């Protein structure tokens, strides 16, 4: 008679990740304000006490979700630099950012509009990371176009990020679909005067 081996219990880290993944889906669907600790516990089929054991507050869970979203945004942007030309890199930066923002529309909207200090701190941290990724690309584009002394690449990076965020906010409020491919191609056509 063969003995059954006991399945290992999930680790504390696995449980925390499962909570984060579940909360991320809920926040993306219903926004930060639309989700309670009870909602998260119910979706996980655990007690609120068990949830509080892993996270002392909804804000802590949201911060963990934001960390993951911001990491995903940075990874998506870094993917763009695998492209061989500056125009393709710019296209992928814009398209990847918008695509991830569309997927996480309520998280992005809450992040952009929140007055919560810790959320605001995450936004500021994310802006610095986005700037550090986008600025060198725009600097290279300006140099290629002979505009490096005439146009500030730092300001241009801020304008590009604001434009993309504005598009995502417009989408999240209006509910209209946006075509990230078309938007990215339009920006590239503007900068490089060519169609993609």
Query: Is the whole-model pTM more than 0.95?
Result: no
Cα gap 44→19, rounded to integer Å: 7
Residue-averaged pLDDT of the chain: 84
Helices (H), the chain: 12-30, 37-44, 48-54, 58-80, 86-103, 105-113, 117-144, 153-174, 180-192
- Token pair of 18 as six digits: 């499962």
Q: What is the pLDDT of residues 42-53, one digit of tens each?
A: 999 999 999 999
pLDDT at 43: 94
pLDDT at 110: 65
pLDDT at 168: 85
Helix (H, G, I), strand (E, B) or coil at 123: helix
Cα gap 39→51, rounded to integer Å: 11
Ranges of residues in the chain with a pLDDT under 70 are 1-12, 106-116, 194-196
DSSP codes joined into one string, 147-178: -TTTS-HHHHHHHHHHHHHHHHHHHHHH----
């Amino acid at each position: 008679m063969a003995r059954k081996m006991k399945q290992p219990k999930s680790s504390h880290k696995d449980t925390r990740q499962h909570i984060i993944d579940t909360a991320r889906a809920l926040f993306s669907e219903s926004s930060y304000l639309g989700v309670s600790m009870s909602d998260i516990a119910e979706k996980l089929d655990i007690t609120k006490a068990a949830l509080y054991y892993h996270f002392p507050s909804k804000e802590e869970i949201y911060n963990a979700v934001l960390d993951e979203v911001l990491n995903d945004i940075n990874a998506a942007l870094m993917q763009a630099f695998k492209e061989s030309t500056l125009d393709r890199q710019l296209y992928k930066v814009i398209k990847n950012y918008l695509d991830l923002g569309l997927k996480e529309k309520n998280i992005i909207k809450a992040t952009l509009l929140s007055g919560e200090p810790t959320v605001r701190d995450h936004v500021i941290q994310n802006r610095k990371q986005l700037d550090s990724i986008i600025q060198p690309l725009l600097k290279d584009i300006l140099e290629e176009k002979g505009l490096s002394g005439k146009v500030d690449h730092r300001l241009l990076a801020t304008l590009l990020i604001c434009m993309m965020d504005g598009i995502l906010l417009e989408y999240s409020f209006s509910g209209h679909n946006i075509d990230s491919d078309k938007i990215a191609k339009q920006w590239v056509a503007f900068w490089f005067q060519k169609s993609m």
